[in-house]
Amino acid sequence: MSTQARAKPRALRLLSELRLVARQVRYEQLSFWLNPIGAIFTVGFSLLFLVMLGASAGSSRISYLNNIKLVQYYVPGFIAYGVMSASFNSLAISLVIRRETGLLKRLRLSPLPTWTLLTSILLSTLLIAFAQVVLMLVVGRWAFGVHPPSGASALLALVVVLVLGGLSFAALGIAMSTLIPNQQAAGPLTSTVFFVLLFLSGLWFPLKSGSALAKVSTYFPIRHFITAVFKTFSHPGASPWALNDMAVLVIWGAVAAVIALRRFRWAPRQT
């Protein structure tokens, strides 16, 4: 059997492994959506935030941000939030749970190649994130009259930013999971880090540029992500490509990926 496996052309093996990825993504999705409370909590939370804050913002405008309507800031902001909550918050927590209950170890001991498993987890995370993006674009358009990015360049910019952000925050989520010792600590620790950084980064209220908070938040990736998504929404005369912000996201993602790869463990910490 070994000689057969070796003799199998590389392309054919890649194809069968890609089929394994597709299959695994399907089961990852099934596992996510068959847990209704978890699914509603993850997907519904960002929508709930947008609707509540959007409704309470009414027609108020931000004087220090070209006098745009506040809700025009909230729609891209909560799109970014949705991506981050799926790829950072939920991924970190679910990885700790899967590690500590032995699920990761069991998968590691199956013949499923490691890269196909990790790829499936990442793809599945991005799918959940993008489901939220679509939902938020629709609600933003029909409930609050915020027009989604239009034109090929802006749409492409949006997709690139979301994929970059999704992958960077997924790397941060995996890195975060390696720092959490047990299941009980996973939710509280991750959420505390996440919500403190969200507050510092001006998700609830846009930061005035030059303010102390704005200076602090430039060192963290969240504000750059929100800004990059924000810029893809139509702003006359401005480019939808926030290249500097994207670069910061890539740097954070790369550092997190290095930590994640070095510290990743398959076996429970507790035994």
Partner 1 sequence: MPAVSVRGLAKSYGSLRAVAGVSFEVQPGEVFALLGPNGAGKTTTLEILEGFRNRDAGEVRVLGIDPGDRRSGPQLRSQLGVVLQELAVEPFLTVRQVLERNAGYYPAPRPVGEVIELVGLAEQADRKVKTLSGGQQRRLDVGLGIVGNPALLFLDEPTTGLDPAGRRTSWELVRRLAGEGTTVILTTHYMEEAEVLADEVAIIAGGRIVAHGPPSSLGGRDRGAATIRFQLPTGITRADLPIRVGGEGQAGELRTDRELEALYELTKWALEHQVQLAGLTVTRHSLEDVYLELTGGEAERFGSDSGQSEALPR
The footprint of partner 1 (CB under 8 A) covers 1-2, 5, 20, 23-24, 27, 30-31, 34-35, 100-103, 105-106, 108-113, 266-268, 270-271
| Shortest Å, Cβ 6 to partner 1 | 9
* Residue type for position 130: F
Nearer Cβ to partner 1, position 37 or 152? 37
Nearer Cβ to partner 1, position 90 or 201? 90
| Shortest Å, Cβ 183 to partner 1 | 8
Neighbour tally for 22: CB within 10 Å: 11
Query: End-to-end CA distance of the chain, in Å?
Result: 36
Nearer Cβ to partner 1, position 214 or 268? 268
* Most distant pair of Cα atoms in the chain: their distance: 70
Q: Are 247 and 77 in contact (CB under 8 A)?
A: no
| Shortest Å, Cβ 270 to partner 1 | 6
Burial track 101-119 (b if 16+ CB lie within 10 A, e otherwise): eeebeeeeeeebeeebbeb
Distance CA 32, CA 125 (A): 10
| Shortest Å, Cβ 108 to partner 1 | 7
Distance CA 96, CA 188 (A): 12
User: H-helix or E-strand containing 21?
Assistant: helix 10-33
| Shortest Å, Cβ 186 to partner 1 | 14
Q: Which residue has the tokens 């991005």?
A: 126
Nearer Cβ to partner 1, position 106 or 215? 106
Nearer Cβ to partner 1, position 104 or 162? 104
Nearer Cβ to partner 1, position 31 or 244? 31
At 59 the three-state DSSP class reads: coil
| Shortest Å, Cβ 179 to partner 1 | 20
Q: Are 69 and 150 in contact (CB under 8 A)?
A: no
Nearer Cβ to partner 1, position 67 or 271? 271
| Shortest Å, Cβ 263 to partner 1 | 17
| Shortest Å, Cβ 105 to partner 1 | 6
Nearer Cβ to partner 1, position 36 or 237? 36
Burial track 62-75 (b if 16+ CB lie within 10 A, e otherwise): beebeebbbbbbbb
Q: Are 53 and 203 in contact (CB under 8 A)?
A: no
- Please write down the long-range contacts of 209-215, taking CB distance under 8 Å and 24 or more positions apart: 209/64
- CA 262, 266, 195, 231 dihedral sign is positive
